[in-house]
């Protein structure tokens, strides 16, 4: 289907109760529109929309120039798209100035693709992309098998996604062999979700996940209210995230009631950031943060150069991190110029590690480390069994820790086999605690006799 020039296309369907489109076999489908100035599709009422394509070998859609694309669906009760077999899907839009999709009411959206070998979406230039969904009750996307997914956006000036209310969002991918997302330049990315009640993402098996962003100038994510966020990954073999240059990363969450992340098994996690100029994370209020990792074999984080890291949490009521078993934790920072962490008020901080076999932290060069906690009411750290704790800092020029007010500090270590701390060169060590009401460190009586020079008081 070829249309040399189409200035205005408008399609209106006042009332449509049931729409079904079936294509038993379609080997090749190609749609080309050299120039389309205005495309508008309006469906005032659509109760049921179903599209079934038993076999589609090749689907290609090319739109060289599209100035304005608008799709409005005032009421859509059920939308279902099923493609049993799709070998190749390609969508190319060389120039898209404005894309807007509005769905005032969408009760159920389901997309199922049992087999998708190759999915590629290329947008050489996208000036403005806006998607608004005032109300979405249920969104489900199922892809039983996806061999290759690639999304390329060479230049994206402004991307905005607004979802005023999302009751339930579920994404299931039983098997994903390769996922790659490349964005050579992303100037401004903004995602706003005023209210998100339940977000659940399940990936039973993910062999390789790679995300590359050569240049990211500004990334901003705002979530005014997030009631429940749950992410489950039963098995993750290899996760790699590479960001060659990240100038400014800002994440704001005004209120986060419950954040839970569960990873039953994580074999290898690697995060590399060659250069990070400014990282800022602000959480004005965080009621409950819980992170559970039942088994973590190898965790490695490498940051060759980190100029400025700043984390601000004005109020943190409850922070809990549980790691039932951690075999190897290694963090390497070849050069860290400035690390600053500010927590104006921290009511309860609790960290529990039932078993930690090997903890190693290496910082070859640390010019300035500063940690400020204006008010810390309760700090508790419990480690039931710690076999080997080793911290090595070859050169530390300035270490400063200031705690203006500390009401209660308690550290409990029931079993400690080996504790070693080495600092070959320490120029300046300064620790100031203007007020310390209660400092308590407990060592089980069975281990006191193994400590040289330990003197007990009393009978």
List, for residues 196-219, the tens digit of each pLDDT value. 777 777 777 767 777 777 776 777
CA-to-CA separations, 291 to 83, 227, 233, 255, 322, in angstroms, rounded: 37, 16, 13, 17, 6
Average pLDDT, stretch 350-356? 70
In a domain, 140, yes or no: yes
Tens of pLDDT, residues 108-152: 777 777 777 777 777 777 777 777 777 777 777 777 777 777 777
User: pLDDT (tens digit, 9 = 90+) per residue, 377-431?
Assistant: 766 766 666 677 666 666 666 667 666 666 666 666 666 666 666 666 666 666 5
Q: 340, 202, 190: which is closest to 280 by C-alpha?
A: 340
Residue 383: closest CA among 407, 343, 348, 418? 418
Q: Which of 190, 213, 232 is the last residue of a domain?
A: 232
Q: Are 414 and 270 found together in one domain?
A: yes
The answer to whether position 248 is within a domain reads: no
Pair (84, 220) in one structural domain:
yes
Same domain membership, residue 154 and residue 273: no
Site of tokens 């060169």: 425
Domain assignment present for residue 136? The answer is: yes
Mean pLDDT in the chain?
Answer: 70
DSSP-based helix, strand, coil % in the chain, nearest 5: 0, 60, 40
Shared domain for 282 and 218, answered yes or no, is no
Task: Give me the domain span that covers residue 146.
Answer: 1-232
Asked, for residue 145, whether it belongs to a domain, the answer is: yes
Could you report the per-residue pLDDT of 254-312, keeping only the tens digit for each? 777 777 777 777 777 777 777 767 777 777 777 777 777 777 777 777 777 777 777 77
Share of the chain above pLDDT 70, in %: 59
The 10s digit of each residue's pLDDT in 2-51 is 555 666 666 666 666 666 666 666 666 666 666 767 667 676 676 767 76
What φ, ψ does residue 347 adopt, rounded to 5°? -80, -45
Regarding whether 185 and 138 lie in a shared domain, the answer is yes
Q: Residue 454's pLDDT is what?
A: 39
Domain annotation covers residue 244: no
Residues 327 and 437 reside in one and the same domain: yes
Task: Judge whether residue 438 has pLDDT over 70.
Answer: no
- The residue among 182, 214, 232 that closes a domain is 232
292 and 202 in a common domain? no
Q: Let me know whether 121 and 213 are in one domain.
A: yes
Same domain, 208 and 281: no
Query: In which residue are the tokens 């489908």 written?
Result: 29
- 17-23-28 Cα angle (round to 5): 135
Q: Kindly indicate the confidence band of residue 452, based on its pLDDT and cuts at 50, 70 and 90.
A: very low
Collapsed DSSP state (helix, strand, coil) of residue 405: coil
Q: Count how many domains the chain has.
A: 2
Q: Is residue 254 part of a domain?
A: no
Taking the model in full, what pTM does it have?
Answer: 0.55
8 Å CB contact between 269 and 238:
no
């Amino acid at each position: 289907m070829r249309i040399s020039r189409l200035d205005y296309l408008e399609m209106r369907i006042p009332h449509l109760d049931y729409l079904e489109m079936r294509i038993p076999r379609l080997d090749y489908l190609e749609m080309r529109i050299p120039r389309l100035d205005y495309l508008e599709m309006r469906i005032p009422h659509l109760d049921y929309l179903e599209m079934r394509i038993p076999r589609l070998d090749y689907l290609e859609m090319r739109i060289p120039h599209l100035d304005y694309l608008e799709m409005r669906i005032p009421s859509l009760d059920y939308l279902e798209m099923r493609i049993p077999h799709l070998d190749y899907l390609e969508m190319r839009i060389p120039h898209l100035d404005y894309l807007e999709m509005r769905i005032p009411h969408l009760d159920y959206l389901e997309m199922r693709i049992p087999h998708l070998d190759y999915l590629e979406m290329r947008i050489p230039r996208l000036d403005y992309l806006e998607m608004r969904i005032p109300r979405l009750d249920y969104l489900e996307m199922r892809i039983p098998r996806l061999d290759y997914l690639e999304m390329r956006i060479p230049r994206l000036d402004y991307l905005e996604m607004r979802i005023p209310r999302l009751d339930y969002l579920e994404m299931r991918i039983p098997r994903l062999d390769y996922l790659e997302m490349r964005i050579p330049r992303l100037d401004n990315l903004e995602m706003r979700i005023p209210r998100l009640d339940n977000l659940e993402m399940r990936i039973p098996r993910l062999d390789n996940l790679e995300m590359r962003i050569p240049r990211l100038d500004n990334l901003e994510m705002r979530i005014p209210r997030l009631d429940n966020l749950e992410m489950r990954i039963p098995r993750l073999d290899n996760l790699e995230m590479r960001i060659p240059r990240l100038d400014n990363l800002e994440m704001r969450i005004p209120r986060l009631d419950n954040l839970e992340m569960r990873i039953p098994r994580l074999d290898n996690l690697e995060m590399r950031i060659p250069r990070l100029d400014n990282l800022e994370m602000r959480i004005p209020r965080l009621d409950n943060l819980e992170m559970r990792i039942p088994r973590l074999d190898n965790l490695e984080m490498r940051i060759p150069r980190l100029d400025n890291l700043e984390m601000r949490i004005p109020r943190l009521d409850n922070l809990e991190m549980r790691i039932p078993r951690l075999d190897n934790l290694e963090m390497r920072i070849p050069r860290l110029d400035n690390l600053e962490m500010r927590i104006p008020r921290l009511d309860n901080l609790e960290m529990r590690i039932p078993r930690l076999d090997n903890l190693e932290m290496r910082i070859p060069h640390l010019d300035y480390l500063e940690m400020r906690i204006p008010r810390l009411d309760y700090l508790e750290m419990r480690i039931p069994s710690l076999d080997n704790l080793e911290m090595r800092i070859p050169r530390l020029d300035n270490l400063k820790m200031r705690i203006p007010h500390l009401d209660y500090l308690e550290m409990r270590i029931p079993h400690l086999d080996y504790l070693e701390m080495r600092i070959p060169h320490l120029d300046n060590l300064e620790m100031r605690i203007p007020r310390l009401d209660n400092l308590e460190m407990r060592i089980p009586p069975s281990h006191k006799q193994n400590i040289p020079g330990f003197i007990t008081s009393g009978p």
